[in-house]
């Protein structure tokens, strides 16, 4: 992933989680003053493992019901979806900068979803919002992020977790 895609990805993830009091930072940035902090490693892979659903843009593993602090993103899958017919846009006319913005936004929303599994300590999916199992590529690419919010039940769960957990997540994106 290019530095611009990574920057856009982190900005999008940060903007999605900010309304909930979760501070997402990339390693190397000055940490916020807090006593509660977690660190998630974010890496990319050429394609999802066989046990990951086809078309997935990211994944997180759970061990004995607990999420591992490592997220894998699949930028090649995201790139193919952004360029595909479901995107309903003519990618051939895009500038490189615009393509990086759209790809970063798409991957940022996928990362925000996977961060949600970690923060909420849940494999579960909702029928709407950020933690929905499947989003359309058009929603991933859209300018507005209103389809990437937590449900009321997820906000309640987040508040419970934050009482005993950590509101800040440091993302080490590679």
pLDDT in 10s for each residue of the chain, 174 residues: 888 999 999 999 999 999 998 888 776 554 443 335 677 888 899 888 888 888 899 999 999 999 998 999 999 999 888 876 555 555 566 788 888 899 999 999 999 999 999 999 999 999 999 999 998 888 888 888 999 999 999 999 998 888 765 444 555 554
Q: Tell me how crowded residue 82 is: count the other CB atoms within 10 A of its CB.
A: 22
Nearest Cα residue to 169 out of 56, 70, 93: 70
pLDDT value for 35 = 36
E-assigned strand segments in 54-102: 58-63, 66-73
E-assigned strand segments in 33-97: 38-44, 58-63, 66-73
**pTM as predicted:** 0.86
Work out the widest C-alpha separation in the chain, in whole angstroms.
Answer: 49
Q: Contact, 154 vs 17, CB < 8 A? A: no
pLDDT value for 74 = 94
Q: Contact, 161 vs 36, CB < 8 A? A: no
pLDDT value for 41 = 85
Kindly report the CA angle at 109 between 94 and 117, in degrees rounded to 5? 160
For the chain, domain boundaries: 3-173
Tokens found for residue 69: 């602090």
């Amino acid at each position: 992933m290019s530095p611009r895609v990574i920057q856009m990805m982190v900005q999008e993830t940060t903007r999605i989680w900010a309304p909930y009091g979760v501070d997402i930072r990339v390693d190397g940035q000055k940490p916020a003053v807090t006593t509660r902090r977690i660190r998630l490693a974010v890496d990319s892979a050429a394609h999802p493992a066989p046990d990951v659903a086809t078309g997935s843009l990211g994944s997180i593993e759970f061990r004995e019901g607990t999420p591992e602090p490592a997220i894998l993103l699949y930028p090649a899958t995201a790139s193919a979806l952004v360029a595909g017919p479901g995107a309903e846009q003519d990618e051939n006319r895009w500038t490189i900068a615009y393509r990086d913005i759209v790809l970063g936004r798409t991957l940022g929303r996928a990362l925000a979803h996977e961060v949600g599994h970690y923060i909420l300590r849940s494999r579960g999916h909702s029928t709407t919002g950020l933690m929905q199992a499947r989003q359309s590529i058009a929603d991933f690419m859209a300018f507005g992020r209103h389809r990437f919010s937590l449900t009321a039940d997820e906000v309640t769960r987040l508040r419970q977790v934050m009482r005993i957990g950590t509101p800040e997540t440091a993302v080490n994106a590679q």
